[in-house]
Every structure is written in C-alpha cells, then in structure tokens.
Amino acid sequence: MPKAMQILSVWLALMALLAATVVSSMLLQGTAGLAASLVIALAKAALVFWFFMHLREENGLARIAATGAVLWVAILFLLSGLDIVTRGL
C-alpha cells in the first residue's frame, strides 16, 4: 500500500472514531458513556502510536519501551484512582 494511501486510511479511521465519540457522547450516559469514550480513545491512541509514531517500523526494543511507558502511566492512573476512592475510609 502506498504511503499516501496508508496515511489517508488512518486519517479516515481517526475521523470515523471521532464521529463515534461524538455519537456516543450524545446517546450514552453515565458509566456506559465513559466506558465507550475510553475504548474509542484507546483505539485512536493505538492508531497514532502505531502509524504516526512509526512503532510498526521499529525493532522490539522500541516497542517494549513504548509498552512499558504506557503501562507505567496506567499504573499511575490506577494508584491515583485508588487514592481518591479510599480517602473517605
């Protein structure tokens, strides 16, 4: 697949996910809306990381480093959320 066609395909996928975000924010309320928005955001981030940050072209070490960074941020968010949830106890 030519490079321009690939970039256009990823851009179209990102625009479709943007439309899905807007529609889900209007139709879904509460926890379901939050879960849908987070899943869509994760898909958009994965597309950006994989194609525009060229992780698909990198060797294993760069992929491991990127995965480690994402996992570290997830751990920090989890610990912050646990702190907020358990403050009243």
Domain boundaries, given as residue ranges, for the chain:
1-56, 58-89
Give the pLDDT confidence of 22-43 residue by residue, as tens digits: 999 999 998 899 899 999 999 9
DSSP label of 58? S
Reported as a pLDDT band with limits 50, 70 and 90, residue 60 is confident
- Is the per-residue pLDDT at 8 higher than 90? yes
- The SS3 call for residue 88 is coil
> What DSSP element (H or E) covers 5?
helix 3-27
**Sign of the CA dihedral running 17, 22, 24, 27:** negative
User: How many other C-beta atoms are found inside a 10 Å radius of the C-beta of residue 24?
Assistant: 17
Cβ neighbours, 10 Å, residue 50:
15
pTM value > 0.75: no
